[in-house]
Amino acid sequence: MARQSTHVIATPARAAAKSQRPRDPVASGDRDAAQNRSASFNYFLLEKVEAGVALRGTEVKSIRQGQANLKDAYGLIKDGEAFLLNVHIGPYSHGNIANHDALRTRKLLLHKEEVRRLHGKTQIKGHTLIPTRLYFRNGRVKCELAIAKGKQDWDKRETEKRREADRESRAAINASKHRASR
């Protein structure tokens, strides 16, 4: 008597159904895990750089759940290494007693030449490193850093006036298109 097989054979229909499953947009890299929206309001973003972040497993899982906050975060270069400070990554919901500290200093993974170049640019008075977003690329967490120069209050008011003028002009154009179609 022949033994029956217990393994499942992958049929084309089963493979198609597996590929049709909705994937988490954050984990697949379609959507940012965290954004620093106030960065462009408070700073002139001069140049952007992509860096890897050295994280613990529970931190990656928390980022996938959307528990990262870049609001008060900044980058620092010390002793030829780059670090990310004040990034809040909430504790993992299914973690145990060995869960990560929410505000710990995290190392940025950059080539030595990139670190030297960023160090030179941040030595200029008024320039700093600001993380603008966290996202996934090929299953790894990446951080987009911007070399930023702080805005004065009058700069912020000028930016807001320009935005409002653009908004009003777009509304006027849309209104004239709407009247013309009648």
Rounded CA-CA distance 164/143 in Å is 31
At 17 the pLDDT is: 55
At 4 the pLDDT is: 60
At 81 the pLDDT is: 92
At 44 the pLDDT is: 86
Mean pLDDT of 163-169: 91
Compute the mean pLDDT over every residue in the chain, rounded to the nearest whole number. Answer: 83
Mean pLDDT of 45-52: 91
Rounded CA-CA distance 44/61 in Å is 32
- Whether 16 has a pLDDT exceeding 60, the answer reads no
pTM: 0.70
